[in-house]
Chain A
């Protein structure tokens, strides 16, 4: 593992009106690692991701990027830092081909004319760099791709921009067995290439197959962030459903613990 985390969140609070969605959430994400973000429906996973990607402003808390405090006020700020999000509902245009989709909104031009050859070359290089060999032609329309191939294109699109942190929102939710394996392999490869990856997933098999660390949210609180090797399937499920498991997670006695989860392999204290 690396010394400084790429992204560190401290004490993030977020409310929508009277509803407090995130409470004093802390999260550390390291380059070259896959951090799985797990939690039940409504635990605040999506909100947390939207805060990181600049869609929602946070009410309170600190963002540290590469150890430097930063302010992420808009999706553009996040993109400038190198944070890319691959959403569940893919955000690809069916009627455009792979290259056109990968460069959508950030087309390369020479003068006012689109520079297609350059874009095609860069797209091919990116796909090759990720060892993606599943697409036969870069000029294929996305409508003719399988679910796994689409997810692959969406991920490759996120990587194209020298991104440092890629957040994947349930990338395997709609895929079959073979395609899931293919996408997970790609997720692993992103981390092996030195990127920091945050993977949101409901599927414990996926989480254990690919992640280095697991961060569990329970009702808007980060109840644990531990190494995947230090925790079992059953413990994660308990963290997700009850907020604690044995010595992990929320303390039985409210108010008897420190402030938030710690990184690394120590067992973290609960929150409040």
Chain B
């Protein structure tokens, strides 16, 4: 057999010795090829923070404001994390905002009106999310209604359900200590450091084990320096954040001391790790990407496509429920507008700004956290600068449009550089 045709497409697959320079070159060529990943969101976050830091140095850069960013952005980020799963299949869930409202209303009813303990209320809220998600998923996957229409109907109907649950406009207060603590209390500073250390050590262990395992089998590995840099980077970022959050941020220490990592932060972190594990390291996660990339190929590979499609709606609505619990905790109450107005749009925006593709098949849970941070910084910074809600909406809209353009352009770029 001749090998003339074979040699044309490139050199033999020799195993290159990993170098830091090669790793960087690899990354740059991926970016040029249209695989920009989280880069736009990170750059956007840096630019926004720089601008606000220059314009409002005293208020934007204060420790108190830094803590505020987390509690302000938490609910939207949690909903966005669930939306990533739906977006990965190229579907959409417009009802996630009001689904979180319904779940929050269930929570408030169970804990305040019926007087059950907080954990019963939380379970009831999440169970409500599961039921909502199953229903939406069944309608999309089994009956075949486009998800846009199903969830638009859900959006309208759930708005009504929230109104019914809070008895036409009155609001239900949430006074349970544990529930209020979620979005309003902080971890003890020492506990913050312990958790940070655990996170860094855990990350280092996973990275180093994987490196050793791959090297032992003679597979291509990232250079050890890059692995060390990743671990160091995480340690520095987490360390700085925890240090700042552990500073005293009370206006008057004599009345109340206010310091430590807000409790929502570890909640988001744990969910981020869990869902990232599910998406990247389990066959279920792999199948989600496969269905999002090529549904027919997934079906032929023996993947239960309907089951996957239903399950992502369940995850999305359950995460919306958790977002709703955090929102109820932050407001100390549930009213007809919980999960309403711009919550859903911010959540979709957060996922897309972070780098999740609306066309399906591309995205990570971390995108939602990154995008959620961008949305929270805009909301927070513009508020500090005294802009009205109108200006804030316009700016957020423009940023979302920018993110969607980056997505569309990078897809074109990828299609042009791939030799299809």
Contacts and interface: CB of A to CB of B under 8 A. Distances in A.
B402 interface: no
Nearest to B216: A117
B290 interface: yes
A136 interface: yes
B279 to A, nearest CB: 11
Nearest to B290: A93
Nearest to A179: B5
B5 A178 contact: yes
A147 B420 contact: yes
A168 to B, nearest CB: 15
Contacts of B8: 178, 182
Interface string B1-44: 11111111111110000000000000000000101000000000
B300 interface: yes
Interface in B206-223: 213-214, 217, 219-220
A134 B9 contact: yes
B346 interface: no
A181 interface: yes
Contacts of A185: 1-3, 5-6
Interface string A53-91: 000000000000000000000011000000000010111
Interface string A131-147: 11111111101011111
Contacts of A105: 287, 290, 298, 301-303
Contacts of A114: 281-283, 286
A12 to B, nearest CB: 23
Contact of A104 (B213, B290, B415): B290
A93 B9 contact: no
Nearest to B296: A91
A185 B3 CA distance: 9
A218 B220 CA distance: 51
Interface string A173-192: 00000110110010011000
A104 B1 contact: no
B33 A144 contact: yes
Contact of B6 (A133, A137, A143): A133
A141 B37 CA distance: 14
Interface string B408-420: 0000001101111
B5 A104 contact: no
Interface in A100-117: 100, 104-107, 109, 112-114, 117
Contacts, number: 121
Interface in B264-295: 281-283, 286-287, 289-290, 292-294
A143 B5 contact: no
A79 to B, nearest CB: 8
A179 B9 CA distance: 9
B361 interface: yes
A91 B300 contact: yes
A16 B7 CA distance: 46
B290 A146 contact: no
Contacts of A182: 5-6, 8-9
B249 interface: no
Contact of B213 (A100, A117, A179): A117
A39 to B, nearest CB: 24
A40 B374 CA distance: 59
A170 to B, nearest CB: 16
A233 B12 CA distance: 36
Nearest to A189: B1
A117 B418 contact: no
B304 to A, nearest CB: 10
B294 A91 contact: yes
Interface in B381-420: 414-415, 417-420
A251 interface: no
Interface in A212-259: none
A117 B286 contact: no
Kindly name the residue among A132, A136, A189 whose own CB sees the greatest number of chain B CB atoms within 10 A: A136
A245 B1 CA distance: 32
User: Residue among B9, B10, B282, B289 with the most chain A CB within 10 A?
Assistant: B9
A50 to B, nearest CB: 12
B47 interface: no
B286 A104 contact: yes
A100 B361 CA distance: 13
Contact of B418 (A113, A143, A178): A143
A92 to B, nearest CB: 6
A141 B4 CA distance: 25
B258 to A, nearest CB: 41
Contacts of B415: 143
Given A96-B289, A144-B417, A188-B1, A107 B283 contact: yes
Given A93-B289, A114-B282, A117-B217, A149 B298 contact: no
9 contacts: A91-B296, A93-B298, A94-B294, A113-B282, A121-B219, A134-B10, A143-B415, A185-B2, A185-B6
Interface of A: 75-76, 87, 89-96, 100, 104-107, 109, 112-114, 117, 120-121, 131-139, 141, 143-149, 178-179, 181-182, 185, 188-189
Given A117-B217, A149-B9, A188-B1, 13 more contacts: A91-B301, A92-B294, A95-B293, A95-B361, A100-B286, A104-B298, A105-B298, A112-B282, A121-B217, A131-B6, A134-B9, A144-B418, A189-B1
List the 9 closest A-B pairs by CB distance, nearest first. A105-B301, A93-B293, A95-B293, A95-B361, A182-B5, A181-B5, A91-B297, A104-B301, A105-B302
